[in-house]
């Protein structure tokens, strides 16, 4: 466990979720929080309880469904309304009732915003801060105060901005966070202002930087150089407008470039995996050119330097990619994949380390499939079925002859979907039809109906998530479709992937594998 | 015309083209050079003449096909080979023969790279630099020297790195460019080293920063603060691995944040257009969240702030987006309030400010639809159709009776999709069938086939992107599906959204609106 001297504070679930295109369910938020905890952040801001039902539910479910190893859950909220008492403000009470050990309170620190947006007096704003911090501290919660629009406010009226910092600190906020809410600062501005605020107030300071100048990471690092000991970031830099300071750029810079132990031992190596998994959950394509974690981040074009890179790779890369869980990749003769395939085979009890030929064949097939749109990063079950096939142990519980799915809107406005599957199982030809609320659901039901008398345990399995991504979307519906299906049998979870020229075809492939893998786990003999 | 005191140097066509996935033809390069010149950069590095036929042809064609208003064309090349004379080195002669008025010579400045990659002595490397600069200067060309791996080299052996800078400057290089080739520096490192080099050598310095720490823009600005007067950047930050310093972030920071006139008058307003056009030519989707120029860069979401934004937008954005040719955009999100709908309506040419009742009704309907899974923040066209309906101007070009889509896998393993649409248009009942590579594609074709005789302009419209999101994915394929469809008619682009209990149903809704909105833009009268 790290001490309290430096805070890595993640706000993906609150500020990051403001990114255009992100829409997280409560389950998504719980899954992301789990990943952030594995990465070792100290604080996870989960949302604004009371402001919307989804965030309220998140904090409720987090109590039982989110055992955290490293992080403390943090609730976000606002100072009390003008002219009320903190103890009577429902929004403040929802923060108390969230059960979060830490609360981040947003406070206005730009006098213009106090007057224009809050429509109250400068003095009342200070009272609102003092009262709310004091009240929540009395409830036993730790409080951080986010000073919204701080940098713009400080430039416009430094005296008032400093009063806000002092008020928050004196009321018991353990960190006062200076926010570049509009994101217009450059690093030397941030360095200077943080230095001045620190000298003038002596408060413990944090930084929250938006990326509108493309300098959010640098602004965060500049604040740390000026003495801030609390950094607010988001996974992959997700956030409103351009985004926020990228957690996965700020943290490795501090650890690897400045030698600061801001993460628990061993966690930095999880970074690439965590980054990609969060992107999948947010249903945003992982940024291939993202620093440290992108698939291109350590990709070298072979040629002039190829032989020199082989002799001493450190002369051609700023860090060892293994430190962040990434790989060096040569764009012409690509060695990537071999190690992970070998490792995966070993997990399955197959030692491929002595069998260069099989290993090479599998890596080639995986790469060809990835070129065609497959992604095994999140689809272990599909990778396992592929490996078993390549080592001469293919898994087949049934052979499909054909299928057909029909969806229609009827003249009365109602929708209907129906699917028929024809297959062979244990030597018998079976035809089954299922209805569903969509074509994939209908196919799923038809397939189960065809198989359930032979494999009754299918009844214990269900699909828990279904994700669709259109790849190379430059020709409309002609694009290739990738589908990920998550399944569970109540004990375990597994994910399968299908790629096809349309969503039904891709779904079918993932569906067939989902059931096949489930039957394999149940130990059924093949037929 | 600007004077020579500060150089904006673009290397998109040389270093930017190293980005994984970029493959530019000579015509592409000429088109990009023209755009960069319109943006007003001082130097355009066109490539390495002699190193490959494409770059040689580029310099040949540029003489007649590339009239430049602002920029000077620059050829990139290497110092002479060890143990030869510059005047006899074919690679150096190709630089002379390129006809470019300026040459950028890459030189080794890290002693380890001299020995490992060049395999020559440290003294010979200095002689190679001096000879090559002297020779090209004698041919009447201006010379800049790029010191490769400078920062790593300076840390390892500062004396030798400084010798390289002095040698280049003394031989007549007008700028010595310090390159962070591996991209591992942070801004305070760059500031300190550039300061030291400037004090030690007195040479005119430039900066070339790779983005491996996510700090290339900040590193470039730090070098300028330390006295560098020449910045090497690429359009949209394209480049090897993570990329290079983004021209479209560095330049607006210098102009708008530091008041430096580094572009010709009026050019900055071209930035968003130039950025997007270059992305199109490079065949890379424009980065929606890119600082300054991205479609999300000035997109505001929070309903809370919308009323204040109306009063004073400058309190909520770091610059006026018009300064860089971009626009403020209001996103209608789950926090949608009256003010943001009102503002959106005004954008669409509808004044609702006096009509509280209509406004309230629309806000309620938008919120209800968002609860059901709709998201209008990226679907302006759907929102406009909704607004028009609510103000009593519904848009109807056809009335759908029913549709049906069939997808199947046949026993021979092939896939087929077919759809039938029944609708009324201009009083006629029409039945049409389409085939496609998937059910949505088949529905699209059936719908167009039913409508094209009445609305021939449909032929100009096509779907350009198709996104699927499964919402509340906790009950497998029972989840609600949201589909976004982007369309274009060659002039404009618009996005529509559909939500349904299955992907076909949701796609249909978005598809119907996509065509309806396209017909509206074409000014067809309704039927």
Question: Residue B37: which pLDDT band, with cuts at 50, 70 and 90?
Answer: very high
Model confidence at A165, pLDDT cuts 50, 70, 90, reads very high
Is the CB of B477 inside 8 Å of chain A's CB atoms? yes
Task: Decide if pLDDT at A361 tops 90.
Answer: no
* Predicted pLDDT at A473: 38
Report CA dihedral (B214, B218, B220, B224) to the nearest 10 degrees. Answer: -170
- Residue B368 burial (CB count, 10 A): 10
**Of residues A462, A463, A478, nearest to B441 (C-beta):** A478
Chain B residues with CB-CB distance to A409 below 8 A: 400, 402-404, 505, 508
Residues of B within 8 A of A212 (CB-CB) are: 291-292, 297, 318
pLDDT score recorded for residue A335: 37
Assess contact for A24 and A18: CB atoms under 8 A: no
Q: Please, which residues have CB within 8 angstroms of residue A106's CB and are 6 or more apart in sequence?
A: A76, A77, A78, A79, A145, A146, A148
Instruction: Give the Å distances, CA to CA, from B360 to A27, B339, B346.
Output: 32, 10, 15
Furthest-apart CA atoms within chain B: distance in Å: 88
Where does the pLDDT of residue A378 fall: very low under 50, low under 70, confident under 90, or very high at 90 and above? low
Query: Of B190, B218, B299, whose CA–CA distance to A245 is shortest?
Result: B218
Across the interface, which of B308, B410, B502 has its CB nearest the CB of A417?
B502
Exposed / middle / buried, residue A345 (Cβ in 10 Å: 0-12, 13-18, 19+): buried
* B409 at interface of A, judged by CB pairs closer than 8 A: yes
CB of B493 within 8 Å of any CB in chain A? no
The secondary structure of A281-349 as a DSSP string is: HHT----TT-TTTSTTTTEE--STTHHHHHH-GGGS-SS-GGGGT---EESSS--TTHHHHHHHHHHTT
Work out the pLDDT band at B393, boundaries 50, 70, 90. confident
Question: What pLDDT digit, counting tens, does each position of B416-466 carry?
Answer: 999 999 999 999 999 999 999 889 999 999 999 999 999 999 999 988 777
pLDDT band at A245 (very low <50, low <70, confident <90, very high): very high
Confidence of residue B148 (pLDDT cuts 50, 70, 90): very high
Residue B28: how many other CB atoms lie within 10 Å: 18
The answer to whether the CB atoms of A408 and B405 lie below 8 A apart is: yes
Distance CA A133, CA A145 (A): 8
Could you write out the three-class secondary structure of A62-74? HHHHCCCCCCEEE
- Best of A28, A110, A220, A242 to substitute, by most chain B Cβ atoms within 10 angstroms, is A242
Structure-block tokens of residue B399: 């009335």
Looking at the partner chain, which of A116, A467, A468 has a beta carbon nearest the beta carbon of B311?
A: A116
Instruction: Say if residues A41 and A10 touch (Cβ distance below 8 Å).
Output: yes
Kindly provide the ipTM of the predicted complex, given to two decimals.
0.74
Q: Which residues contact A193 (CB under 8 A, 6 or more apart)?
A: A151, A154, A155, A178, A185
Residue A336 with chain B: CB contacts under 8 Å: none
Contact B117 A308 (CB under 8 A): yes
DSSP B115: I
8-state DSSP, A110: S
Residue B328 is predicted with a pLDDT of: 81
Measured CA to CA, the distance from residue A483 to residue A506 in angstroms comes to: 6
Mean pLDDT of chain B: 90
Cβ of B253 within 8 Å of Cβ of A294? The answer is no
| Higher per-residue pLDDT: A77 or A277 | A77
Q: Please list the residues that pair with B176 across neighbouring strands.
A: B145, B205
Q: What whole-number distance in Å separates Cα of residue B411 and Cα of residue B501?
A: 29
Question: Residue B377: is its pLDDT beyond 70?
Answer: no
Judged by a CB distance cut-off of 8 A, whether residue B217 touches chain A is yes
Q: Judge whether A119 is closer than 8 Å to chain B, CB to CB.
A: no
Q: Token digits for A173? A: 């906020």
Pairing of strands A43-47, A7-10: parallel
B146 forms beta bridges with B106, B177
> How far A96 CA lies from chain B's nearest CA (Å)?
22
A192 touches chain B (CB under 8 A): no
Q: What are phi and psi of B332, to 5 degrees?
A: -95, 110
Any CB–CB contact under 8 A between A406 and chain B? yes
Interface of B with A in 26-55 (CB under 8 A): none
A411 CB within 8 Å of a chain B CB:
yes
The chain A residue lying nearest B189, using CA atoms, is A257
Sequence-distant (6+) residues with CB within 8 A of B483 are B466, B467, B468, B469, B497, B498, B499, B500, B503, B506, B507, B509, B510
Nearest alpha carbon to residue B274 among B43, B51, B40, B477: B40
Q: What is the mean pLDDT of residues A363-377?
A: 77
Q: What is the mean pLDDT of residues A29-34?
A: 95
Burial class, A399, CB count within 10 angstroms (exposed 0-12 / middle 13-18 / buried 19+): exposed
Q: Calculate how close chain A gets to B520, using CA atoms only, in Å.
A: 21
At A286-303, the pLDDT tens digits run: 888 999 999 889 987 644
Q: Is the pLDDT of residue B350 over 80?
A: no
Residue A307 pLDDT: 56
For B452-498, what is each residue's pLDDT tens digit? 999 999 999 988 777 787 765 333 445 688 888 888 888 888 889 99
A308: pLDDT strictly greater than 80? no
Residue B374 has pLDDT above 90, yes or no: no
The mean per-residue pLDDT over the stretch B57-72 comes to 94
Torsion from C-alpha of B58, B60, B66, B68, nearest 10 degrees: 100
Extended beta strands in B323-450, E state: 329-330, 399-409, 415-425, 428-436
Q: What is the pLDDT of residue B51?
A: 83
What is each CA distance from A215 to B193, B308, B398, in whole angstroms?
20, 26, 50
Per-residue pLDDT at B287: 84
CB spacing of A466 vs B476 below 8 angstroms: yes
Best residue of A209, A431, A477, A501 to probe chain B, by most B CBs closer than 10 Å: A477
- Please tell me the predicted confidence (pLDDT) of residue A302: 44
**By the CB < 8 Å criterion, does B460 face chain A?**
no
B373 pLDDT higher than 80 = no
pLDDT at position B466: 78
Return d(Cα B392, Cα A516) in angstroms, integer.
54
Using a CB–CB cutoff of 8 Å, tell me whether A225 touches chain B.
yes
Instruction: Give the minimum alpha-carbon distance from A351 to chain B in angstroms, rounded to a whole number.
Output: 33
Provide the 10 A C-beta neighbour count for residue B493: 14
Percent composition of chain B: helix, strand, coil (DSSP 3-state, to 5)? 45, 20, 35
Q: What is the model's pLDDT at position B429?
A: 96
Look at residue B336 and tell me whether its pLDDT is greater than 80: no
User: What is the nearest CA distance from B64 to chain A, expressed in angstroms?
Assistant: 32
Q: CA A174, CA A124: separation in Å to the nearest integer?
A: 22
Whether A225 and B504 lie within 8 Å, measured CB to CB: no
Which of A119, A218, A329 is the mutation pick for testing B, counting most B CBs within 10 A?
Answer: A218
**pLDDT higher at A104 or B339:** A104
- Smallest Cβ–Cβ distance between A283 and the set B186, B437, B469 belongs to B469
- Of the listed ranges A105-109, A325-329, B88-92, B142-146, the least confidently predicted one is A325-329
A63 has pLDDT over 70: yes
Q: What is the DSSP code (8-state) at residue B479?
A: S
φ, ψ dihedrals at A4, nearest 5° = -90, 5
> In the structure, what pLDDT confidence band is assigned to residue A50 with cuts at 50, 70 and 90?
confident
Query: Which domains are seen in chain A, by residue range?
Result: 9-257 (3.20.20.70), 265-331 (4.10.430.20), 399-441 (no CATH)
User: What's phi and psi for B84, nearest 5 deg?
Assistant: -125, 180
B331-358 average pLDDT score: 71
Q: What is the pLDDT of residue B303?
A: 53
Higher pLDDT, B488 or A464: B488
- Cα→Cα distances A25→A97, A484, A526, B140, B431, Å: 21, 17, 38, 65, 40
Identify the residue with better confidence: A69 or A285.
Answer: A69
Q: What CA–CA distance (Å, rounded) separates B169 from B175? A: 7
Identify the band that residue A474 occupies on the pLDDT scale cut at 50, 70 and 90. very low
Closest CA to A183 of A228, A117, A237, A143: A237
Distance from CA of A352 to the nearest CA of B (A): 31
* A222 part of contact set with chain B, CB < 8 Å: yes
Count contacts between A and B (CB, < 8 Å). 346
**Inter-chain contact B149–A315, Cβ cutoff 8 Å?**
yes
Return the closest-CA partner of residue A319 out of A230, A252, A412: A252
* CB within 8 Å of A479: residues ≥ 6 apart: A470, A471, A472, A473, B465, B466
Residue A69 corresponds to which tokens in the numbers above?
């190893």
pLDDT at A399: 95
The residue in chain A having the minimum alpha-carbon distance to the alpha carbon of residue B302 is A18
Average pLDDT of the residues in B356-378: 80
Strands (DSSP E) contained in A43-202 are 43-47, 72-78, 102-108, 142-148, 175-180
CA angle A324–A328–A330, rounded 5-degree value: 160
Hey, is the C-beta of B187 within 8 angstroms of any chain A C-beta?
yes
Q: Is B505 a residue whose pLDDT tops 90?
A: yes
The mean per-residue pLDDT over the stretch B82-106 comes to: 96
Average pLDDT estimate for A369-395? 83
User: Hey, are the CB atoms on A23 and B406 less than 8 Å from each other?
Assistant: no
- Residue A367: pLDDT band (50, 70, 90) is confident
Is the distance from CB of B439 to CB of A426 less than 8 angstroms?
no
Chain A interface, best mutation among B211, B219, B245, B289, by max A CB count within 10 A: B289
∠ CA A367-A373-A378, rounded to 5°:
80
Mean pLDDT value across chain A: 90
The whole-angstrom separation of Cα B41 and Cα B39 is 6
C-alpha dihedral (B29, B35, B38, B41), degrees to nearest 10: -60
Where residue B335 falls among pLDDT bands split at 50, 70, 90? very low
Residues 6+ apart with CB under 8 A from A137: A143, A171, A172
Contact (CB<8Å) A468/B469: yes
């Amino acid at each position: 466990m790290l001490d309290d001297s430096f805070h890595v504070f993640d706000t993906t679930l609150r500020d990051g979720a403001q990114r255009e295109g992100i829409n997280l369910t409560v389950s998504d938020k719980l899954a992301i929080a789990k990943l952030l905890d594995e990465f070792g952040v100290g604080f996870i801001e989960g949302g604004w309880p009371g402001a919307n039902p989804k965030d309220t539910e998140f904090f409720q479910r987090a109590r039982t469904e989110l055992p955290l190893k490293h992080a403390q859950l943090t609730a976000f909220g606002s100072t009390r309304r003008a002219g009320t008492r903190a103890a009577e403000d429902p929004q403040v009470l929802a923060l108390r009732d969230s059960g979060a050990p830490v609360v981040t309170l947003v406070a206005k620190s730009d006098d213009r915003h106090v007057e224009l947006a809050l429509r109250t007096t400068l003095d009342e704003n200070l009272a609102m801060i003092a009262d709310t911090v004091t009240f929540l501290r009395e409830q036993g919660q730790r409080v951080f105060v986010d000073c919204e629009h701080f940098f713009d406010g400080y430039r416009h009226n430094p005296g008032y901005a400093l009063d806000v910092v002092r008020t928050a600190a004196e009321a018991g906020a353990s960190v006062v966070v200076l926010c570049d809410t509009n994101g217009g600062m450059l690093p030397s501005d941030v360095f200077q202002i943080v230095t001045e605020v620190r000298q003038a107030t002596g408060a413990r300071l944090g930084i929250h930087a938006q990326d509108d100048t493309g300098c959010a990471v640098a602004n965060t690092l500049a604040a740390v150089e000026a003495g801030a000991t609390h950094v607010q970031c988001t996974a992959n830099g997700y956030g409103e407008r351009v985004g926020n300071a990228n957690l996965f750029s700020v943290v490795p810079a501090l650890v690897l470039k400045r030698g600061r132990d801001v993460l628990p031992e061993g966690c930095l190596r999880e970074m690439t995996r965590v980054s990609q998994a969060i992107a999948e959950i947010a249903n945003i394509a992982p940024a291939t050119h993202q620093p440290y974690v992108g698939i291109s981040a350590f990709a070298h074009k072979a040629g002039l330097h190829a032989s020199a890179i082989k002799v001493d790779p450190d002369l051609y890369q700023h860090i060892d990619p293994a430190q962040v869980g990434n790989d060096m990749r040569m764009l012409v003769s690509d060695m990537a994949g071999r190690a992970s395939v070998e490792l995966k085979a070993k997990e399955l009890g197959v030692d491929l380390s002595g069998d260069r030929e099989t290993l090479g064949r599998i890596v080639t097939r995986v790469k060809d499939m990835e070129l065609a749109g497959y992604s095994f990063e999140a689809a272990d079950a599909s990778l396992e079925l592929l490996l078993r096939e390549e080592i001469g142990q293919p898994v087949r519980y049934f052979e499909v002859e054909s299928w057909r799915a029909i969806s229609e809107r009827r003249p009365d406005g109602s929708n209907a979907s129906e699917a028929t599957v024809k297959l062979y199982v244990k030597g018998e030809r079976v035809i089954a039809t299922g209805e569903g609320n969509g074509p994939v659901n209908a196919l799923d039901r038809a397939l189960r109906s065809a198989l359930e008398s032979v494999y009754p345990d299918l009844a214990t399995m269900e699909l828990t998530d279904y994700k669709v991504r259109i790849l190379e979307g430059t020709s409309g519906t002609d694009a290739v479709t990738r589908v990920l299906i998550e399944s569970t049998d109540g004990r375990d979870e597994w994910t399968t992937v299908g790629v096809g020229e349309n969503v039904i075809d891709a779904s079918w492939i993932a569906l067939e594998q989902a059931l096949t893998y489930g039957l394999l786990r149940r130990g059924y003999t093949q037929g």
